[in-house]
Amino acid sequence: MLYHTIIEFFAIFTALSITLISNATREFNQNRIFMKFGIVYFFVASVDFLHTLAYKGMGVFPNWTANHPTQLWIAGRSLEVLGFFLILFFTKLSERVVFSLFGLLTTFLILSVWLGFFPDCFIEGSGLTSFKVSMEYIMVFVLVTILIKTIKSKDASISAIRRPITSAIIFTILGELSFTLYTDVYGFFNFLGHVFRFVSYLMILNGVIVNSLKDPVRSMLFKLNEEREKLKEIAHHDNLTNLFNRAFFNEWIQRQVRLAQLQKVPMSFIMIDVDNFKQINDSFGHLIGDEVLKFVAECIASSTRSSDFAARYGGDEFIVVLYGADKQRAEEIAQRIREKITNSNKLEMSIDISYGVATLQPGADYLEALHKADEAMYRMKKSKKGVS
Protein backbone atom coordinates (compact mmCIF):
# COMPACT_ATOMS: atom_id res chain seq x y z
CA MET A 1 0.00 0.00 0.00
CA LEU A 2 2.90 2.37 0.77
CA TYR A 3 4.45 1.65 -2.62
CA HIS A 4 1.12 2.18 -4.34
CA THR A 5 0.54 5.49 -2.55
CA ILE A 6 4.04 6.77 -3.39
CA ILE A 7 4.00 5.82 -7.08
CA GLU A 8 0.43 7.11 -7.49
CA PHE A 9 1.33 10.48 -6.00
CA PHE A 10 4.40 10.66 -8.24
CA ALA A 11 2.15 9.92 -11.22
CA ILE A 12 -0.43 12.49 -10.08
CA PHE A 13 2.31 15.09 -9.57
CA THR A 14 3.64 14.32 -13.07
CA ALA A 15 0.16 14.62 -14.60
CA LEU A 16 -0.44 17.95 -12.85
CA SER A 17 3.01 19.14 -14.02
CA ILE A 18 1.90 18.42 -17.59
CA THR A 19 -1.14 20.61 -16.94
CA LEU A 20 0.77 23.43 -15.23
CA ILE A 21 3.62 23.66 -17.75
CA SER A 22 1.37 23.42 -20.80
CA ASN A 23 -0.93 26.10 -19.35
CA ALA A 24 1.94 28.39 -18.31
CA THR A 25 3.48 28.29 -21.80
CA ARG A 26 0.24 28.52 -23.79
CA GLU A 27 0.92 32.09 -24.96
CA PHE A 28 4.13 31.28 -26.86
CA ASN A 29 3.73 27.56 -27.59
CA GLN A 30 2.78 27.14 -31.25
CA ASN A 31 1.89 23.43 -30.96
CA ARG A 32 -1.53 23.24 -29.32
CA ILE A 33 -1.56 19.44 -28.96
CA PHE A 34 0.23 19.53 -25.62
CA MET A 35 -2.18 22.23 -24.42
CA LYS A 36 -4.95 19.69 -24.90
CA PHE A 37 -2.94 16.95 -23.18
CA GLY A 38 -2.57 19.34 -20.25
CA ILE A 39 -6.37 19.57 -20.00
CA VAL A 40 -6.86 15.79 -20.30
CA TYR A 41 -4.22 14.96 -17.67
CA PHE A 42 -5.78 17.39 -15.20
CA PHE A 43 -8.97 15.31 -15.22
CA VAL A 44 -7.01 12.02 -15.31
CA ALA A 45 -5.04 13.17 -12.24
CA SER A 46 -8.32 13.99 -10.45
CA VAL A 47 -9.60 10.45 -10.96
CA ASP A 48 -6.18 8.97 -10.08
CA PHE A 49 -6.24 10.94 -6.81
CA LEU A 50 -9.61 9.42 -5.86
CA HIS A 51 -8.32 6.00 -6.93
CA THR A 52 -5.34 6.40 -4.56
CA LEU A 53 -7.51 7.45 -1.61
CA ALA A 54 -9.90 4.56 -2.28
CA TYR A 55 -7.16 1.90 -2.50
CA LYS A 56 -7.52 -1.14 -0.27
CA GLY A 57 -6.15 -0.42 3.20
CA MET A 58 -6.22 3.39 2.97
CA GLY A 59 -9.41 3.60 5.05
CA VAL A 60 -10.56 6.91 3.55
CA PHE A 61 -13.83 5.39 2.31
CA PRO A 62 -14.65 2.75 4.98
CA ASN A 63 -17.52 1.09 3.15
CA TRP A 64 -15.67 0.70 -0.14
CA THR A 65 -14.09 -2.56 -1.29
CA ALA A 66 -11.16 -3.26 -3.68
CA ASN A 67 -13.72 -3.04 -6.48
CA HIS A 68 -14.15 0.74 -6.15
CA PRO A 69 -10.50 1.78 -6.74
CA THR A 70 -10.38 -0.67 -9.64
CA GLN A 71 -13.46 0.97 -11.13
CA LEU A 72 -11.81 4.37 -10.70
CA TRP A 73 -8.69 2.97 -12.33
CA ILE A 74 -10.68 1.93 -15.43
CA ALA A 75 -12.38 5.33 -15.41
CA GLY A 76 -9.01 7.13 -15.33
CA ARG A 77 -7.48 4.95 -18.04
CA SER A 78 -10.58 5.36 -20.23
CA LEU A 79 -10.22 9.15 -19.98
CA GLU A 80 -6.53 8.92 -20.83
CA VAL A 81 -7.03 6.66 -23.87
CA LEU A 82 -9.97 8.75 -25.08
CA GLY A 83 -7.75 11.81 -24.73
CA PHE A 84 -5.05 10.26 -26.92
CA PHE A 85 -7.67 9.28 -29.49
CA LEU A 86 -9.45 12.62 -29.73
CA ILE A 87 -6.32 14.78 -29.62
CA LEU A 88 -4.37 12.81 -32.23
CA PHE A 89 -7.25 11.92 -34.55
CA PHE A 90 -9.06 15.26 -34.32
CA THR A 91 -6.22 17.78 -34.17
CA LYS A 92 -8.56 20.71 -34.96
CA LEU A 93 -10.60 20.09 -31.80
CA SER A 94 -10.52 23.27 -29.71
CA GLU A 95 -9.17 23.37 -26.16
CA ARG A 96 -12.52 24.68 -24.91
CA VAL A 97 -14.33 21.67 -26.36
CA VAL A 98 -11.75 19.29 -24.84
CA PHE A 99 -12.14 20.92 -21.42
CA SER A 100 -15.96 20.82 -21.52
CA LEU A 101 -16.11 17.23 -22.79
CA PHE A 102 -13.64 15.82 -20.26
CA GLY A 103 -15.16 17.83 -17.41
CA LEU A 104 -18.55 16.24 -18.08
CA LEU A 105 -17.10 12.75 -18.62
CA THR A 106 -15.04 12.89 -15.43
CA THR A 107 -18.03 14.01 -13.39
CA PHE A 108 -20.19 11.26 -14.87
CA LEU A 109 -17.58 8.51 -14.27
CA ILE A 110 -16.93 9.52 -10.64
CA LEU A 111 -20.68 9.70 -9.90
CA SER A 112 -21.24 6.30 -11.55
CA VAL A 113 -18.65 4.72 -9.22
CA TRP A 114 -19.92 6.66 -6.20
CA LEU A 115 -23.58 5.80 -6.79
CA GLY A 116 -22.85 2.16 -7.65
CA PHE A 117 -23.94 1.84 -11.28
CA PHE A 118 -20.43 1.50 -12.74
CA PRO A 119 -19.84 -2.18 -13.77
CA ASP A 120 -17.89 -4.32 -11.27
CA CYS A 121 -14.16 -4.61 -12.05
CA PHE A 122 -12.73 -6.65 -9.15
CA ILE A 123 -14.24 -9.30 -6.89
CA GLU A 124 -12.41 -10.32 -3.73
CA GLY A 125 -11.25 -13.93 -3.88
CA SER A 126 -11.74 -14.37 -7.64
CA GLY A 127 -9.93 -11.33 -9.04
CA LEU A 128 -10.63 -9.26 -12.13
CA THR A 129 -14.04 -9.34 -13.77
CA SER A 130 -14.50 -10.03 -17.48
CA PHE A 131 -15.64 -6.40 -17.90
CA LYS A 132 -12.37 -5.07 -16.48
CA VAL A 133 -10.20 -7.38 -18.58
CA SER A 134 -12.27 -6.65 -21.71
CA MET A 135 -11.92 -2.92 -21.12
CA GLU A 136 -8.14 -3.26 -20.80
CA TYR A 137 -7.94 -5.15 -24.12
CA ILE A 138 -10.25 -2.67 -25.85
CA MET A 139 -8.02 0.16 -24.63
CA VAL A 140 -4.91 -1.69 -25.85
CA PHE A 141 -6.53 -2.12 -29.27
CA VAL A 142 -7.42 1.59 -29.41
CA LEU A 143 -3.90 2.52 -28.28
CA VAL A 144 -2.32 0.37 -31.01
CA THR A 145 -4.55 2.14 -33.55
CA ILE A 146 -3.45 5.50 -32.16
CA LEU A 147 0.20 4.38 -32.23
CA ILE A 148 -0.02 3.47 -35.93
CA LYS A 149 -1.75 6.78 -36.66
CA THR A 150 0.97 8.70 -34.79
CA ILE A 151 3.83 6.92 -36.56
CA LYS A 152 2.31 7.36 -40.03
CA SER A 153 0.89 10.86 -39.57
CA LYS A 154 2.23 13.64 -41.81
CA ASP A 155 0.52 16.31 -39.74
CA ALA A 156 3.25 18.82 -38.78
CA SER A 157 1.82 19.29 -35.27
CA ILE A 158 2.02 15.52 -34.62
CA SER A 159 5.36 14.87 -36.33
CA ALA A 160 6.94 17.58 -34.14
CA ILE A 161 6.06 15.57 -31.00
CA ARG A 162 6.07 12.05 -32.45
CA ARG A 163 8.82 10.60 -30.23
CA PRO A 164 7.40 11.44 -26.75
CA ILE A 165 3.85 10.59 -27.80
CA THR A 166 4.91 7.25 -29.31
CA SER A 167 6.90 6.35 -26.18
CA ALA A 168 3.98 7.30 -23.92
CA ILE A 169 1.55 5.16 -25.93
CA ILE A 170 3.90 2.13 -25.85
CA PHE A 171 4.34 2.33 -22.07
CA THR A 172 0.58 2.83 -21.61
CA ILE A 173 -0.04 -0.34 -23.67
CA LEU A 174 2.45 -2.28 -21.54
CA GLY A 175 0.70 -0.99 -18.42
CA GLU A 176 -2.75 -1.99 -19.65
CA LEU A 177 -1.52 -5.50 -20.51
CA SER A 178 -0.01 -5.84 -17.01
CA PHE A 179 -3.34 -4.88 -15.46
CA THR A 180 -5.04 -7.84 -17.16
CA LEU A 181 -2.86 -10.35 -15.32
CA TYR A 182 -3.14 -9.73 -11.56
CA THR A 183 -5.51 -11.49 -9.14
CA ASP A 184 -4.42 -9.56 -6.04
CA VAL A 185 -4.38 -5.75 -5.82
CA TYR A 186 -1.01 -6.11 -4.05
CA GLY A 187 0.32 -8.51 -6.73
CA PHE A 188 3.43 -8.18 -8.95
CA PHE A 189 1.64 -7.33 -12.22
CA ASN A 190 -0.32 -4.61 -10.45
CA PHE A 191 3.02 -3.23 -9.24
CA LEU A 192 4.51 -3.48 -12.76
CA GLY A 193 1.49 -1.84 -14.40
CA HIS A 194 1.84 1.18 -12.13
CA VAL A 195 5.51 1.52 -13.12
CA PHE A 196 4.65 1.47 -16.84
CA ARG A 197 1.84 3.99 -16.31
CA PHE A 198 4.17 6.35 -14.38
CA VAL A 199 6.81 6.14 -17.16
CA SER A 200 4.16 6.93 -19.79
CA TYR A 201 3.28 10.10 -17.83
CA LEU A 202 6.96 11.03 -17.72
CA MET A 203 7.20 10.65 -21.51
CA ILE A 204 4.33 13.11 -21.95
CA LEU A 205 5.88 15.49 -19.41
CA ASN A 206 9.22 15.34 -21.21
CA GLY A 207 7.45 16.12 -24.49
CA VAL A 208 5.67 19.08 -22.88
CA ILE A 209 8.94 20.45 -21.46
CA VAL A 210 10.79 20.08 -24.76
CA ASN A 211 7.91 21.42 -26.83
CA SER A 212 6.90 24.21 -24.47
CA LEU A 213 10.28 25.39 -23.17
CA LYS A 214 13.22 24.19 -25.26
CA ASP A 215 11.67 24.28 -28.73
CA PRO A 216 10.18 27.77 -28.40
CA VAL A 217 13.63 29.07 -27.45
CA ARG A 218 15.12 27.35 -30.50
CA SER A 219 12.22 28.62 -32.57
CA MET A 220 12.73 32.16 -31.25
CA LEU A 221 16.46 32.03 -32.07
CA PHE A 222 15.65 30.67 -35.51
CA LYS A 223 13.14 33.49 -36.09
CA LEU A 224 15.65 36.09 -34.91
CA ASN A 225 18.23 34.68 -37.31
CA GLU A 226 15.61 34.61 -40.06
CA GLU A 227 14.75 38.25 -39.37
CA ARG A 228 18.43 39.16 -39.44
CA GLU A 229 18.79 37.44 -42.81
CA LYS A 230 15.72 39.28 -44.10
CA LEU A 231 17.16 42.62 -42.94
CA LYS A 232 20.45 41.72 -44.60
CA GLU A 233 18.55 40.82 -47.76
CA ILE A 234 16.72 44.16 -47.65
CA ALA A 235 19.99 46.02 -47.11
CA HIS A 236 21.56 44.26 -50.13
CA HIS A 237 18.66 44.83 -52.53
CA ASP A 238 17.23 47.81 -54.33
CA ASN A 239 13.66 48.08 -53.05
CA LEU A 240 12.25 49.22 -56.41
CA THR A 241 13.77 46.74 -58.87
CA ASN A 242 14.60 43.93 -56.41
CA LEU A 243 18.04 43.66 -58.00
CA PHE A 244 21.13 44.05 -55.83
CA ASN A 245 22.10 47.61 -54.95
CA ARG A 246 25.37 49.43 -55.59
CA ALA A 247 26.52 49.19 -51.96
CA PHE A 248 26.33 45.42 -52.09
CA PHE A 249 27.95 45.36 -55.53
CA ASN A 250 30.96 47.23 -54.12
CA GLU A 251 31.21 44.69 -51.31
CA TRP A 252 30.60 41.63 -53.50
CA ILE A 253 32.91 42.50 -56.41
CA GLN A 254 36.04 42.48 -54.23
CA ARG A 255 35.56 38.81 -53.30
CA GLN A 256 34.49 37.82 -56.81
CA VAL A 257 37.54 39.40 -58.47
CA ARG A 258 39.86 37.52 -56.09
CA LEU A 259 38.03 34.28 -56.86
CA ALA A 260 38.32 34.88 -60.63
CA GLN A 261 42.04 35.55 -60.25
CA LEU A 262 42.56 32.35 -58.26
CA GLN A 263 40.61 30.28 -60.79
CA LYS A 264 42.11 32.18 -63.74
CA VAL A 265 38.77 32.76 -65.44
CA PRO A 266 37.54 35.91 -67.22
CA MET A 267 34.80 38.12 -65.86
CA SER A 268 32.71 40.41 -68.06
CA PHE A 269 30.79 43.56 -67.20
CA ILE A 270 27.73 44.99 -68.93
CA MET A 271 26.85 48.59 -68.09
CA ILE A 272 23.26 49.49 -69.04
CA ASP A 273 21.54 52.87 -69.18
CA VAL A 274 17.88 53.56 -70.05
CA ASP A 275 17.65 55.92 -73.03
CA ASN A 276 15.82 59.23 -72.54
CA PHE A 277 14.83 58.32 -68.99
CA LYS A 278 14.60 61.96 -67.87
CA GLN A 279 12.22 62.65 -70.74
CA ILE A 280 10.06 59.66 -69.66
CA ASN A 281 9.88 61.04 -66.12
CA ASP A 282 9.07 64.56 -67.32
CA SER A 283 6.42 63.40 -69.79
CA PHE A 284 4.71 60.58 -67.89
CA GLY A 285 5.65 61.16 -64.26
CA HIS A 286 7.86 59.35 -61.78
CA LEU A 287 5.43 56.47 -61.21
CA ILE A 288 5.68 55.49 -64.87
CA GLY A 289 9.43 56.03 -64.63
CA ASP A 290 9.52 53.54 -61.75
CA GLU A 291 7.55 51.03 -63.85
CA VAL A 292 10.11 51.43 -66.65
CA LEU A 293 12.98 50.71 -64.25
CA LYS A 294 11.18 47.64 -62.89
CA PHE A 295 10.50 46.41 -66.42
CA VAL A 296 14.16 46.80 -67.45
CA ALA A 297 15.22 44.97 -64.26
CA GLU A 298 12.83 42.09 -65.10
CA CYS A 299 14.31 41.82 -68.60
CA ILE A 300 17.83 41.75 -67.18
CA ALA A 301 16.95 39.10 -64.59
CA SER A 302 15.19 36.88 -67.13
CA SER A 303 18.08 37.13 -69.62
CA THR A 304 20.87 36.14 -67.24
CA ARG A 305 21.82 32.99 -65.38
CA SER A 306 21.30 32.46 -61.66
CA SER A 307 25.10 32.50 -61.29
CA ASP A 308 25.31 35.97 -62.89
CA PHE A 309 25.10 39.16 -60.85
CA ALA A 310 22.77 42.06 -61.67
CA ALA A 311 22.47 45.32 -59.74
CA ARG A 312 20.90 48.73 -60.01
CA TYR A 313 24.02 50.85 -60.21
CA GLY A 314 22.25 54.15 -59.63
CA GLY A 315 19.37 56.13 -61.11
CA ASP A 316 18.57 54.51 -64.47
CA GLU A 317 21.89 52.64 -64.70
CA PHE A 318 22.33 48.90 -64.23
CA ILE A 319 25.33 46.59 -64.11
CA VAL A 320 25.54 42.90 -64.97
CA VAL A 321 28.58 40.79 -64.02
CA LEU A 322 29.08 37.55 -65.96
CA TYR A 323 31.45 35.15 -64.24
CA GLY A 324 33.48 32.99 -66.60
CA ALA A 325 32.16 34.76 -69.72
CA ASP A 326 34.31 36.39 -72.41
CA LYS A 327 33.48 39.63 -74.27
CA GLN A 328 31.68 37.90 -77.14
CA ARG A 329 29.39 36.04 -74.73
CA ALA A 330 28.74 39.28 -72.82
CA GLU A 331 27.84 41.07 -76.08
CA GLU A 332 25.32 38.31 -76.90
CA ILE A 333 23.66 38.62 -73.48
CA ALA A 334 23.58 42.42 -73.66
CA GLN A 335 21.94 42.26 -77.09
CA ARG A 336 19.43 39.69 -75.79
CA ILE A 337 18.49 42.06 -72.93
CA ARG A 338 18.07 44.96 -75.36
CA GLU A 339 15.92 42.94 -77.78
CA LYS A 340 13.68 41.77 -74.95
CA ILE A 341 13.17 45.39 -73.86
CA THR A 342 12.62 46.91 -77.32
CA ASN A 343 10.39 44.09 -78.63
CA SER A 344 8.04 44.16 -75.65
CA ASN A 345 4.88 46.22 -75.63
CA LYS A 346 4.22 45.68 -71.92
CA LEU A 347 4.24 49.37 -70.99
CA GLU A 348 2.75 50.53 -74.29
CA MET A 349 5.62 52.89 -74.95
CA SER A 350 8.94 52.77 -76.80
CA ILE A 351 11.81 51.88 -74.46
CA ASP A 352 15.43 51.35 -75.41
CA ILE A 353 18.75 50.99 -73.62
CA SER A 354 22.37 51.69 -74.33
CA TYR A 355 25.00 49.30 -73.08
CA GLY A 356 28.74 48.85 -72.93
CA VAL A 357 30.73 45.65 -72.47
CA ALA A 358 34.22 45.06 -71.07
CA THR A 359 36.05 41.95 -69.93
CA LEU A 360 38.32 41.69 -66.89
CA GLN A 361 41.26 39.43 -67.50
CA PRO A 362 42.89 37.62 -64.55
CA GLY A 363 45.22 39.95 -62.67
CA ALA A 364 43.78 43.19 -64.14
CA ASP A 365 42.12 46.00 -62.19
CA TYR A 366 38.34 45.62 -62.24
CA LEU A 367 37.85 49.41 -61.96
CA GLU A 368 39.51 49.82 -65.37
CA ALA A 369 37.14 47.24 -66.85
CA LEU A 370 34.18 49.07 -65.32
CA HIS A 371 35.44 52.33 -66.78
CA LYS A 372 35.76 50.75 -70.24
CA ALA A 373 32.23 49.33 -70.07
CA ASP A 374 30.94 52.74 -68.98
CA GLU A 375 32.72 54.48 -71.87
CA ALA A 376 31.37 51.94 -74.37
CA MET A 377 27.85 52.51 -73.06
CA TYR A 378 28.12 56.30 -73.54
CA ARG A 379 29.56 55.83 -77.03
CA MET A 380 26.44 53.86 -77.95
CA LYS A 381 24.21 56.51 -76.39
CA LYS A 382 26.01 59.32 -78.32
CA SER A 383 25.90 57.38 -81.57
CA LYS A 384 22.10 57.10 -81.22
CA LYS A 385 21.81 60.82 -80.69
CA GLY A 386 24.10 61.42 -83.67
CA VAL A 387 21.87 59.28 -85.88
CA SER A 388 18.73 61.03 -84.71
Count of structural domains within the chain: 2
The CATH number of the domain holding residue 21 is 1.20.1070
Q: Is residue 93 part of a domain?
A: yes
Q: Is 125 inside a domain boundary?
A: yes
Query: Does a structural domain hold residue 256?
Result: yes
- Tell me which of 204, 228, 252 is where a domain ends: 228
Query: What pLDDT was estimated at residue 216?
Result: 56
**309 part of a folded domain:** yes
Task: Give the model's pLDDT for residue 17.
Answer: 85
Asked if residue 254 and residue 187 are part of one domain, the reply reads no
Query: Is 51 in the same domain as 116?
Result: yes
Whether residues 214 and 98 fall in one domain: yes
Q: What is the pLDDT along the chain (388 residues), one digit of tens a residue?
A: 777 788 888 888 888 888 888 787 776 666 677 788 889 989 999 999 999 898 878 888 888 888 999 999 899 989 989 998 998 888 888 899 999 999 999 999 999 999 999 999 988 777 788 998 899 889 889 999 989 988 888 877 677 678 888 888 888 888 878 867 655 556 666 677 778 878 888 887 777 666 555 555 555 555 666 677 666 666 788 989 989 999 889 988 988 888 888 888 888 999 999 999 999 998 889 899 999 999 999 999 999 888 899 999 989 999 999 988 899 999 999 999 999 999 888 888 889 999 999 998 777 888 999 999 999 999 999 888 764 4
The per-residue pLDDT for 138 is: 92
Which residue, 177, 199, 228, sits at the end of a domain? Answer: 228
- The model carries a pTM of 0.53
Among candidate residues 222, 226, 227, 217, the one with its CA nearest the CA of residue 25: 217
- Residue 270 shares a structural domain with residue 222: no
Whether residue 73 is found in the same domain as residue 34: yes
What local confidence, expressed as pLDDT, does residue 263 receive? 81
Domain check: are 171 and 295 in the same one? no
214 and 89 belong to one structural domain: yes
User: Is 168 part of a structural domain of the chain?
Assistant: yes
Claim to verify: residue 59 and residue 149 sit in the same structural domain: yes
* Together in a domain, 383 and 285: yes
Q: Are residues 215 and 265 in the same domain?
A: no
- Flag whether 234 is in a domain: no
200 lies in the same domain as 261:
no
pLDDT at position 222:
56
**196 plus 271 within the same structural domain:** no
Domain range spanning residue 121? 2-228
Q: Say what the pLDDT of residue 215 is.
A: 55
